[in-house]
Amino acid sequence: MQCSYGSDWHICLRARLSLLSYESEFEFGLELENAMSGEERLGEIFLETEFSAEFALTYQLFTFAEVSLESALSYENGLRTGNASFELEQFGLRYEGDTAFLEIGRIAPPFGMAKAKIAGYFADDFVKDYEMDKSAGVSAAYRIAVGSLAVSAFANGTTLDERVELDDFAVQYDIALDGQILHVGARSISSSDGQTLEATGLTFGVTSRARSSFELVGEAAAFRHWEGPADRAVFATIGGSYDHGSATYSGAYSLRRIGSNVNDHVVSLGIDWSFDESTTLSVGAARLLSSGGHAKVGFSVTRQFEN
Q: Compute the average pLDDT of residues 217-230.
A: 87
- Please state, as a whole number, how many other Cβ atoms lie within 10 Å of the Cβ of residue 110: 26
pLDDT at 13: 47
Average pLDDT over residues 263-290: 92
Distance CA 283, CA 170 (A): 34
Residue 189 resides in a domain: yes
Predicted TM-score (pTM) above 0.75: yes
Position 4 in a domain: no
The predicted-structure confidence for 56-102, as pLDDT tens digits, reads as follows 998 899 999 999 999 999 988 778 899 999 999 999 999 999 899 99
CB 262 within 8 A of CB 253: no
Q: Is residue 2 in a domain?
A: no
Q: Which of 28-32, 74-78, 79-83, 114-118 is the most confident on average?
A: 28-32
Specify if 133 maps to a domain: yes
Residue 3 located in a structural domain: no
- 17-21, 151-155, 204-208, 276-280: least confidently modelled range: 17-21
* Cα distance between residue 135 and residue 162, in whole Å: 11
Phi, psi of 84 (to 5 degrees): -145, 150
More confident residue, 29 or 3: 29
Question: Can you tell me the distance from the alpha carbon of 247 to that of 265, in angstroms, rounded to the nearest whole number?
Answer: 27
Q: Which residues contact residue 67 at a Cβ distance below 8 angstroms, ignoring those fewer than 6 apart?
A: 50, 51, 52, 86, 87, 88, 89
Helix boundaries (H) for 144-186: none
What does the mean pLDDT of the chain come to?
86
Higher pLDDT, 36 or 31: 31
Q: Which domain holds residue 111?
A: 9-306
3-state class of 156 per DSSP? coil
Alpha-carbon distance of 134 to 225, in angstroms, equals 21
CA pair distance 144, 281, nearest whole angstrom: 38
Lowest mean pLDDT of 35-44, 115-124, 270-279, name the range. Answer: 35-44
Say if residues 148 and 160 touch (Cβ distance below 8 Å). Answer: no
**pLDDT at position 47 over 80:** yes
State CA 303 to chain mean position distance: 18
* 114-to-98, 131, 277 alpha-carbon distances in Å: 26, 10, 23
Q: Can you give the pLDDT at residue 30?
A: 95
Amino acid at 151: V
Nearest partner of 284 among 123, 128, 50, judged by Cα: 123
The kind and range of the H/E element at 117 are: helix 114-117
**What is the mean pLDDT of the segment spanning 190-208?**
77
Give 163's pLDDT tier (boundaries 50, 70, 90): low
Q: How confident is the model at residue 191 (pLDDT cuts 50, 70, 90)?
A: low
Least confident of 18-32, 79-93, 194-208, 222-236: 194-208
Let me know if residue 229 belongs to a domain.
yes
pLDDT band at 3 (very low <50, low <70, confident <90, very high): low
Quick one: what percent of the chain has pLDDT higher than 70? Answer: 86
Q: Is the pLDDT of residue 218 over 70?
A: yes
Q: Is 9 a residue whose pLDDT tops 50?
A: no
pLDDT exceeds cutoff 60 at 6: no
Average pLDDT over residues 248-270: 91
Per the DSSP assignment, residues forming a β-bridge with 215 are 209, 241
Q: Which pairs count as long-range contacts for 168-173, CB under 8 Å and 24+ apart, including other chains?
A: 168/109, 168/135, 168/137, 170/109, 170/110, 170/111, 170/132, 172/110, 172/111, 172/112, 172/203, 173/147, 173/148, 173/149
Which among 262, 270, 260, 269 is positioned nearest to 293, based on CA atoms? 262
Is 100 part of a structural domain of the chain?
yes
DSSP 131-147: PPPPEEEEEEEEEETTE
pLDDT tens track for 175-185: 988 878 999 99
pLDDT at 230 over 80: no
| Mean pLDDT (whole number) for 35-64 | 86
156 lies in some domain: yes
**Is residue 303 within 8 Å of residue 165, measured between CB atoms?**
no
Domain harbouring 122, CATH code = 2.40.160.10
Q: What are phi and psi of 236, to 5 degrees?
A: -145, 135
pLDDT at residue 4 greater than cutoff 80 = no
Which residue type does 174 have? D
Mean pLDDT of 124-136: 91
How much of the chain, in percent, has pLDDT values that exceed 90?
58
Number of folded domains in the chain?
1
